[in-house]
Amino acid sequence: MSLELYAHPFSSYSQKALVALYENDTPFEYRNLDGPDSEAMRELVALWPMRRFPVLVDGDRTVLEASCIVEYLDLHHPGPVRLVPVDADAALEVRMLDRFFDNYISTPQQKVVFDALRNPADRDAYGVGEARRMLETSYAWLDARMAGRQWACGDAFSLADCAAAPFLFYADWTHPIDTAFGNVHAYRHRLLARPSFARAVDEARRYRHYFPLGAPDRD
Ligand SMILES: N[C@@H](CCC(=O)N[C@@H](CS)C(=O)NCC(=O)O)C(=O)O
């Protein structure tokens, strides 16, 4: 039975899982969640009432949360590119950076975007200000972290880079990364040049008009 991924091409968390699949050319069926009335969306709601995606189905196993999907693929459908190091201590650092990208880049980025989707009367200017300040702190921390590094952890592309790629991509659209943070810009460019992420970006191009803050005319 083939793997099925419930995902949307424009969704950052979906791209995180897609990068892992594309890194190893892992075959899967793409259950595209395009449209609230699609069959795939009805199936997603039955699988996971939170309606958050991506969700991976492997036979009778349902895997929630993008990080867990990447870990599951690494464990049960491994390929030449190992996304979580075998060494337990190195794996801990990869998971730590994965948490950084989820909690301190993606979460504040989503806060700004979701706020823009609300009715003006329901907007949360204070929360958006906090989110933008968190992004500034995150960019500064990451810039120091990335000095002399190619990837987020060690020498190899990992789960942490699967997270970094889409989250830095959209974060720079949402709250531009200052040019002073040259290491972050260089890392974002390396991620964009990685074939797995370049493919995910290309597949999402036709949805750019969905971006509520107005997508810039660039990657
Ligand atoms: N913690 C989840 C977050 C997933 C998430 O926020 N996905 C977004 C798409 S990028 C989503 O499902 N949005 C739909 C919604 O909020 O209703 C994960 O790591 O997979």
pLDDT tens for 136-189 read: 999 999 999 999 999 999 999 999 999 999 999 999 999 999 999 999 999 999
Whole-number mean pLDDT of the chain?
97
Place 1 in a pLDDT band, splitting at 50, 70 and 90: low
Contact (Cβ atoms closer than 8 angstroms) between residue 187 and residue 146: yes
Residue located nearest, by CA, to atom 9 of ligand 1: 11
Nearest-atom number in ligand 1 for the CA of 114 is 16
The helix or strand, by DSSP H or E, that contains position 62, with its residue range, turns out to be strand 61-64
Place 36 in a pLDDT band, splitting at 50, 70 and 90: confident
CB contact set of 10 (below 8 Å; sequence gap of 6+): 204, 207, 208, 210, 211
| Amino acid letter, residue 165 | A
| Mean local confidence (pLDDT), 8-35 | 97
The pair of structure tokens assigned to 112 is 């700004």
Q: What percent of the chain has pLDDT over 70?
A: 100
Residue located nearest, by CA, to atom 20 of ligand 1: 65
53 C-alpha to ligand 1 centroid (Å): 5
pLDDT reported for residue 35: 84
Q: Which residues line ligand 1 (CB under 6 A)?
A: 11-13, 51-53, 65-67
Nearest-atom number in ligand 1 for the CA of 17 is 20
